[in-house]
Amino acid sequence: MKQAKEIFFLTLGTFITAAAVFFFLVPSHCSVSSISGLAILLSNVFPLSVAQLTMILNVALLIVGFLLCGGEFGIKTVYTSILLPLFIGLFEILLPNYKSLTGDMTLDVVCYIFTVSIGLAILFTRNASSGGLDIVAKVLNKYLNIELGKAMSAAGMCIALSSAFFYDSKTVVLSVLGTYLNGIVLDHFIFDQSVKRRVCIVSEKSEEIRNFILKELHSGASIYQCIGALHMKPQNEIITIVSKSEYQKLMAYIQKNHPTAFVTVYKVNDMRYIPKSPTYGNDAN
């Protein structure tokens, strides 16, 4: 069941990516952060289709993925890299005379950015990629700790600039801007969905709140003693890091049972720890 679910999401992410390339990227002639964009450029030089060129370029970069990103990533990316040009090729067969869904180059690029970011976010969160520049981005993310969106922008900028050899200035500008925006949108879809929140709570009934966090949310917390500047009275401050759903439950509980509690919230983009307890989560001691 788990393997079937994994294959389903890999196939879904690849299908969305292929649809974004065929329906929006190819008609716009822009090269936005993808090996498919490079394939579009090379199709002006070599008598091969975008699907064929995508396959050739992906095979070369797959070797890099296996060597630098590990077997799991490599095997999954082999599957998606083979599937991506097959989906594009299927679209080319079914819609041989397809021009543009929007009829406008700028709208095509905007639609591509949002559509492909959904597909790539699905793949990246499954420790896979669609191949090509995604592999380069994964390598930069793994070894240089660069966020995947920024890594995609950096890897794709050279391809975007190379469109100057084949297309007019408008296409070049759209390629560069699209590559940059694609990185921002991709990071949004990847990180904003998994972002956690650091909640700091000061309340006279800190023990009740602590029990709720441990027993109801099954999360962890740290407790610090603080002193209020006005009355110089010592109180406990509870700090916990929770997911989006846990945050909603926690705030609903506090608003209902401890409305006078002082609460501050911060976004946490990354968290690394080794759980010490099999019962509760991130208990930072």
pLDDT at 209 over 80: yes
pTM for this predicted structure: 0.62
Which pLDDT belongs to residue 285?
43
Q: What is the pLDDT of residues 190-207, one digit of tens each?
A: 666 567 889 999 988 889
Which pLDDT belongs to residue 272?
67
Domain 195-268 - what CATH class? alpha beta
Which pLDDT belongs to residue 47?
80
pLDDT at 280 over 60: no
Which pLDDT belongs to residue 253?
93
What does the domain layout of the chain look like in residue ranges? 2-193, 195-268
32-46, 134-148, 205-219: the lowest-pLDDT one: 32-46
33-42, 140-149, 174-183, 239-248: the lowest-pLDDT one: 33-42
CA–CA gap between residue 121 and residue 129 (Å, rounded): 9
CA–CA gap between residue 44 and residue 24 (Å, rounded): 18
CA–CA gap between residue 19 and residue 66 (Å, rounded): 26
CA–CA gap between residue 43 and residue 53 (Å, rounded): 7
Strands of 262-268's sheet in order across? 222-227, 234-242, 196-202, 262-268
H/E element, 224: strand 222-227
Which pLDDT belongs to residue 210?
92
% of the chain beyond a pLDDT of 70: 82
Mean pLDDT estimate for the chain: 79
